[in-house]
Structures are given as C-alpha cells and as structure tokens.
C-alpha cells in the first residue's frame, strides 16, 4: 500500500460534532427540561448571546464560556455541575451518533477512501466529552493521530500544538489542511504556515468541501 502523503486535521467540537447550540431540543428532552428552556445560540444568533460575544472578543476563553453554560444548566436541575464532561454526558452522552455531523462523516470517509491520513487536534476532547464517549464515537478508529490538550496541556493557538500533530503525522505542513471553527486557532495555524479552513458551523458542508478541495479531492 502506498504511504499516505496528505492529511486532514480536524478540531473536534463543532467541526466533527454538532454544537450544543444545534441540539438544544435533544438536551432538553434528555434532561427533562421544558422545550425552549435553553435560549443561548452562540454563532447561530450572536446578537442574543452576550457571553458568546465576550468569547469572540477574547475577553473570556472558550473553556470559560462552556463552564458558565455548564453551571447554568446544572442549576436548572438543582445540581452543581463543575465540569463540561457532566454537561455533555448528561445531555447526549448515551448516544454519540446524535453528535456526529453528517457532513463530517461524509468527509472523513471520503478522505480515508482516498488514502489520506486523518488527525484530531483538540483543546478539550476528553475534558469535555470524556474518554468513554470518545471511545464509542463513530469513526474514531479511522483517525491515525489524536492530539488532545486534555493530556498535553498545550492549547491551540500555541504553535507547539500544531507542531506536535504534524510530527505525529510525519508529514510536511504543506501536505496537510487544518479545520477549526475558532478564529484564534486558525490564526495559530496561519502563524506556523499550516494550510487551514476557518469552519463556519452554520455552513458545515462548505467548510468540508473547501478542505477536501485543498487536498486534491
């Protein structure tokens, strides 16, 4: 078999998975909350989500944003939730299939069929989703490399995060495309010369099409 010489590198949350903004109905049913209880919409309605705007302005981190939402949702149930893993697993952890983006599934399978390597570069894969969830996640076994800052403690956009995934892939950066939905992480990729796609979670098919085109598919 010819050795793979190109790779698709994906952020996990929002890129491979559907965002929690998109699955409020699933969350409400899973938690027994009345329909319409969860109103924060992040990138789908930034004007109505001041906390999201603060994150985009880099006044707070992505982890800060989600910990605030985690505590809010836990409080609705009269519980004290102290980690994002609790939120994700209680909201939809029983069925990882509900989380996978259909566009991500199609792109991952197409890339693998074409002989490309696949990698995940995440700031909080197991921190947010949990090891059990990750192990059960559809298609996870197709990934050659997973670099997760839950363990490395090196968060994007630190240049070392991108360099680590490239080193583990053993490929030139020119032969890889990195996909992420957060602008700061895209700026980090640009700073190390890694080809990239700024993924718009409101238009996922376009982001994946662009990435695959850049890889010659």
Query: Is 1 inside any structural domain?
Result: no
Quote the domain boundaries for residue 124.
7-18+99-214
Helix spans in 47-122 (H) = 50-56, 62-76, 84-92, 102-113
Residue 93's pLDDT band (boundaries 50, 70, 90)?
Answer: low
Give the total number of structural domains in the chain.
2
Q: Are residues 32 and 134 in the same domain?
A: no
Q: Are residues 126 and 179 in the same domain?
A: yes
Res 3: pLDDT: 59
Q: Are residues 91 and 103 in the same domain?
A: no
- Are residues 100 and 139 in contact, defined by beta-carbon separation less than 8 angstroms? yes
Location of structure tokens 């895209």: 186
- Are residues 196 and 180 in contact, defined by beta-carbon separation less than 8 angstroms? yes
Residue 96's pLDDT band (boundaries 50, 70, 90)?
Answer: confident
Give the predicted TM-score (pTM) of the model. 0.90
Looking at the chain, the whole-number percentage of residues with pLDDT higher than 90 is 82
- Tell me whether residue 2 is exposed, middle or buried, using C-beta atoms within 10 angstroms of its C-beta: 0 to 12, 13 to 18, 19 or more: exposed
């Amino acid at each position: 078999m010819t050795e793979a010489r190109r790779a698709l590198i994906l952020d996990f949350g929002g890129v491979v998975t559907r965002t929690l903004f998109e699955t409020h109905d699933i969350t409400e049913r899973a938690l027994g909350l009345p329909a319409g209880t969860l109103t924060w919409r992040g990138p789908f309605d930034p004007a109505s989500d001041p906390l999201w705007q603060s994150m985009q302005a880099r006044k707070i981190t992505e982890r800060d944003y989600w910990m605030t939402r985690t505590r809010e949702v836990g409080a609705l149930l009269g519980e004290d939730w102290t980690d994002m893993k609790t939120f994700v697993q209680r909201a939809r952890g029983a069925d990882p299939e509900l989380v996978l983006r259909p566009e991500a599934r199609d792109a991952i399978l197409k890339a693998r069929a074409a002989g490309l390597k696949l990698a995940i570069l995440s700031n909080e894969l197991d921190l947010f989703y949990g090891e059990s969830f990750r192990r059960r996640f559809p298609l996870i076994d197709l990934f050659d490399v997973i670099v997760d800052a839950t363990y490395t403690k090196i968060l994007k956009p630190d240049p070392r995060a991108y360099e680590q995934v490239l080193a583990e892939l053993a490929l030139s950066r020119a032969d890889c495309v990195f996909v992420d939905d957060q602008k700061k992480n895209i700026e980090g990729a640009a700073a190390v010369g890694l080809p990239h796609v700024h993924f718009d979670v409101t238009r996922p098919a376009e982001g994946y099409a662009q990435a695959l085109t850049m890889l010659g598919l």
